[in-house]
Structure 1
Amino acid sequence: MKAVVCHGPRDYRLEEVPVPRPGPGEVLVRVHLAGVCASDGKAWDGAPKIWGTNDGQGRYIEPPVIVGHEFVAQVVAFGEGAEGRDGLAIGDYVCSEQIVPCQDCLYCKEGLYWLCEPHDIYGFHQRTPGSWAEYMVFPRKALNYKLPAGMDPDHGVFVEPLGCAVHTINRAEIRFNDVVVIAGCGSLGLGMVAAAKMKSPKTIVALDLHPARLELARKCGADITINPRDEDAVTKVKEMTGGYGCDVYIEATGAPRAVTQGLDMIRKRGRFIEFSVFRDLVTADWSIIGDTKELDIKGVHLSPHAYDTAIRMIAEGRLPMDEIITHKLPLEDYEQGIQMVIDGSASLKVTLRP
């Protein structure tokens, strides 16, 4: 089968590799559509936060490995004892959480499976080859989900990023009278807007540098949109909140400036939610967090307990999916897809069709 194999930064190759065979408890699927994530762009470009640094930070990706952690696929075969697992049958369209938890480490035993210490994520670790291929295997401990009848299979490729968005909003603990600012209206940010709308806060403010993305943010539920390139976002948010600032600030841009912007914009005792994977280290005035504003800072990782909600949101038509999924490229054009995601000016969700 065809597969895109990562051998190192900027060293991705389209190769012919054996079709995997499902072992006991495993499920073989044919990939229907695979997404290109912003983290794929950073991995391609050699980001120190992914490939490790000279100061001892560990490597997050293990080459050689088949890339890809966003996908929708169709069941084609079961390994011994796997038939019927997760309610799956041959021909079903399915997705699988991007992490395959070990179920044995400290975090798994505490119920925090998404923080699993071995941390086998599709497309990053050799034990879990990814979705930029014609076929892939869901391991025995994978967390799998069947898509409902009537849901466009192509839209299933957005379940993983939308699940991350749902987890982000859950971490924000949004209340009815909150002013919520979401910085970044890429595909993930748009998912956060739609998920935040379901929490019924007082106001949702979306920030982005691209007018077309701000227009989509309104379709997803934003009440107010601001382009920081055209106006002072901090001043505008403070003006609409009596000078206090927003209650919740969600950073989904991956740009260091968005972090300091949020620290300036948020009110005392506000909740700052950090989602992004940054290319490099970010510097901020930590005295704002403690002595000045006594902020709650929450990180967000992956999409635990969120896939069912994400699937329901897509099936119910809560997002303009055909406008969010902007490109469907053949697998052979993976490098073009990566560059489109890195550039970001002419795409939202870029996908590959094996």
Structure 2
Amino acid sequence: MRAAIFRNGEIVVDEMPEPTPGPGQVLVKSLACGICGSDLHARKHAHRMVDLAKFLPGRKPMDLSRDVVFGHEFCCEILDYGPGAQRKFKPGTHVCSLPALITPAGIQAIGYSNENIGAYAERMVLSEPLLLEVPNGLKPEHAALTEPLAVGIHAVEKANIRGDEVPLVIGCGPVGLAVIAALKIKGLHPIVAADYSPARRALAAKMGADIVVDPARSQPYATWAEHAQMSPEQKAARPPLQAMLPALKPALIFECVGIPGLLQQVFEGAPRDARIVVVGVCMETDRSEPFLGIVKELNVQYVLAYTPEEFAYSLRLIAEGKVDAASMVTASVGIDGVAKAFADLANPEAHTKIIVEPWR
């Protein structure tokens, strides 16, 4: 079968052996797979990912001398079952799954593994207990956005929202857009979002942001403060010592960029007692000033992925039309177009989410 393969630091198209489903596994046809920012990071910083894997017990790092097939945001079609499977779904059923395999050695990742190929291949293997049937005739290219939406849903859940906060989303790429959608579902307003890209700011507004900011023209934290003023009643209810501080509602800041220096910018701009949720994945060594975090009493929460319940919930949200997933898709390519798509995604004005359709 054909696949877009990560080999010697590049994405190449080649033939590879057909996968065979083991006990409790399912052979599927890859219908649609989103190109994730993590895939772009993995191509550029693969050696860094391998080096840091030593701090993650039980996680087997990629062997970069061997082929890897990325692709963990997918919708697939069931083809056949391995031995011992319950055969819950008929062949031809469209399914999504957490990008993981249940094995005798434990849970293993799909997509950043030499053994468990991702959905940039024509066919792959999934674990039957993790399958979710795609409902409502949802298009595969939209069902494939379940995974990135679940990242935003999880980030907002980990923020432990009380209901009185004013959120600020820094970065309106796919992750930031997912966070905005999740905040809207929570009913937390006004949502302030910042991005340098006009196209992404427009999409942020479409996904639920109430105020969009161009950091080249307006300081995001100043704009946030304009919309976070306490009511006269809230001001009057503050304890005497707090009355000396700016009369602002609690800040909930989502860092959705993941580049060096960004977290330090958040530390500098954030108001006192802000809660910061780090969703963007910075693959390089970074620095921030602990003194600012101490003096401002900042609370920093790093997040990763999602729970199985959040993943299933995200699929339902898309299928029920509560999240406009279709607006995030800006292009689709076959296997031969994956390498170029990686380069094209560097331009935020051109693309937000490119879908790989290996069957094309």
TM-score, with structure 1 as normaliser: 0.87
Post-superposition offset of 1:101: 5.6
What's 2:116 paired with? 128
What amino acid is aligned across from residue 64 of structure 1 in structure 2? D
8 Å Cα contact 2:165/2:249 also seen in 1: no
Cα distance change of structure 1 residues 210 and 103 upon mapping to structure 2, 3 Å threshold: farther
Give the corresponding residue for 1:113: none
Write the deviation string for residues 48-87 of structure 1: whole angstroms up to 9, x where unpaired.
532437x987895334222211111011111112133xx4
Secondary structure at the counterpart of residue 323 of structure 1: helix
Per the alignment, residue 38 of structure 2 pairs with: 39
- 2:96 maps to 1:95: yes
In the superposition, relative to structure 1, how do residues 228 and 169 fare at CA in structure 2: closer, same or farther (>3 Å)? Answer: same
CA distance in 1 between counterparts of 2:221 and 2:279 reads 20
Whole-Å separation in 1 of the counterparts to 2:318 and 2:260: 31
Q: Supply the AA of the counterpart residue of 2:167.
A: V
Asked if 2 retains the 8 angstrom alpha-carbon contact of 1:26 and 1:79, the reply is yes
1:170 maps to a residue whose letter is E
Separation (CA, whole Å) in 1 of partners of 2:89 and 2:269: 47
Instruction: State the Cα distance separating 1:351 from its structure 2 match.
Output: 1.3
Task: Please provide the CA RMSD for this pair.
Answer: 2.4
| Gap change, CA 1:241 and 1:60, over 3 Å in 2 | farther
Residue 109 of structure 1 aligns with which residue?
A: none
* Aligned counterpart, 1:67: 70
Instruction: State the Cα distance separating 1:124 from its structure 2 match.
Output: 0.6
Residues 48, 280 of structure 1: 8 Å contact kept: no
Q: Which amino acid aligns with 2:303?
A: V
- Identity over aligned residues, as a percent? 28
Q: CA deviation at 1:343?
A: 3.6
Moved more, 243-252 or 156-165: 243-252
1:23-172 aligned at under 5 Å gives the runs: 23-46=22-45, 49-52=48-51, 60-62=61-63, 63-84=66-87, 87-100=88-101, 120-139=108-127, 143-172=130-159
Which secondary structure state, in structure 1, belongs to the residue aligned with residue 187 of structure 2? coil
The 1:297/1:21 distance shift into structure 2, 3 A limit, reads: same
Deviations, residues 162-219 of structure 1 (Å, cap 9, x unaligned): 1111111111112222101111111221111111111112321111111121111112
Q: Measure, in 2, the Cα distance between the counterparts of 1:37 and 1:312.
A: 21
Q: Distance in 1 between matches of 2:47 and 2:168?
A: 29
Conserved 8 A contact 1:33-1:72: yes
Which of 295, 302, 305 is residue 305 of structure 2 equivalent to?
302
Aligned partners of 1:49 and 1:210: how far apart in 2? 28
Q: Match of 1:2, as an amino acid? A: R
Structure whose CA Rg is larger:
2
> What one-letter code is carried by the residue in structure 2 that aligns with 1:284?
S
Per the alignment, residue 346 of structure 2 pairs with 342
What's the offset of the Cα at 1:149? 2.9
The code of the aligned residue for 1:5 comes to I
Q: Which residue in the other structure is 2:2 paired with?
A: 2
Match of 1:200 among 182, 187, 197: 187
Post-superposition, which runs of at least 4 consecutive aligned residues in structure 1 deviate over 6 A?
A: 55-59
Gaps of 5+ in 1: 106-115
Equivalent residues of 1:48, 1:279 under 8 A apart: no
Equivalent position amino acid for 2:342 in 1: I
* Structure 1 residue 299: Cα displacement: 1.1
Compute the TM-score of the two structures, normalised by the length of structure 2: 0.86
Q: 2: distance between equivalents of 1:18 and 1:47? A: 24
* Aligned residues between the structures: 335
Q: CA deviation digits over 1:208-260, x for unaligned, max 9? A: 11112111111211111111112111222233334447521111111234312
The answer on whether the counterparts of 1:219 and 1:319 sit within 8 Å (CA) in structure 2 is: no
What's the CA shift for 1:266? 2.8
Q: Measure the CA separation in 2 of the matches of 1:271 and 1:127.
A: 39
For the 8 Å contact 2:168–2:254, the answer to whether it is kept is yes
Say whether residues 1:278 and 2:282 are aligned partners: yes
Name the residue aligned to 2:264: 260
1:130 Cα offset (Å): 0.8
